[in-house]
Structure 1
Amino acid sequence: MRAYIFQDEGDQRKPNDSKIEVSAEDLEAAKVSYRHHDGDLHTFADGLMKEYGFKNRDEVVVSRKGLGDRYDNMVKKFFEEHLHEDEEIRLILDGNGYFDVRSVDDRWVRIFVEKGDLIILPPGIYHRFTTTTDDYIHAMRLFHENPKWIALSRTDSTSEELDARKSYLNSIKKSVYV
């Protein structure tokens, strides 16, 4: 895993690297969890289901080849800043991409994920996702209950009033980023 402060340079699928690193410890302090596994990923997922009490999972492939004309619109949708009222849990089965999360001081932190990476974003954290210029990622989504993916846009002023957002902000006492 590599995480750093995002510096917008145009194409969202490029690294946009400021060269300001963010440590795994800083991400953990922000309630963002990360693990890497090199073995069989479906067996690893079975263990995660038991360890975290997940009840459901599915797989999603985001690729230019697979989505064709829908690809650009789908990637734009994922890149809109939003939060969820539930954890976002992704195990990368193949390919790569970027999760961007907001720091407490409102800067974007870019997290590069690739095959074998597990990332867990807490409820209430503003984030977004994009593929890299490889235009391909295959991920497993894990859920505590029935699968749902409800993105609540930051542009909707009510998102700041959600219990998930308030709980997240209360769990972060100071900015953990450089």
Structure 2
Amino acid sequence: MELITSNEQEQLFRDCRFRAFHLEVQDSYAVEDEAAALETFLDTGEFEYDPEWRHWDDLMREVTSSGRAVQRVRVVTEPHTDYTRFLFATTESNIDSGEDIRWLPRHVIASAEITTDDWWLFDDDTLAFTVFRPDGTLGGFAVTRDPRIVAYCAAVRDRVWSLATPHSEYRIKR
């Protein structure tokens, strides 16, 4: 595997031909540029869009406006964590940028049917595992093109996608 930076990961989006898929399996993340918005959300229950996120939204618009799909499945524990409630509130901006996001309650799928890691699968041939630092912040991405690992994750993608609920139909539970 090759460790790449966030900037190099962005290039994977630009180079993908038809689809980028993200599996998210954590119930909370230590995303540095979300800290202030998360704190506000926890204090007020209101979501305030941070202009720093525009870079991601612009990248997603660039990719999806060219006809390529960007999909995510978020595997979540119910009742939801505070972070999941925050993430749900932020999802409209992702969807407005062209992403297709679905939610999968953890109890709906056996743990053996999913991975314990988050990853992006690009075009069924490039897999980028999310690497977290010990403090939970993003450390980069570990990329592999090993056909067996990629095929396994493609099968996981197809399974979770078929089970997950589209964002517009999913409801947050306390």
Q: TM-score, normalised by structure 1?
A: 0.28
Larger strand share, 1 or 2: 1
Normalising by the residue count of structure 2, what TM-score does the alignment of the two structures yield? 0.28
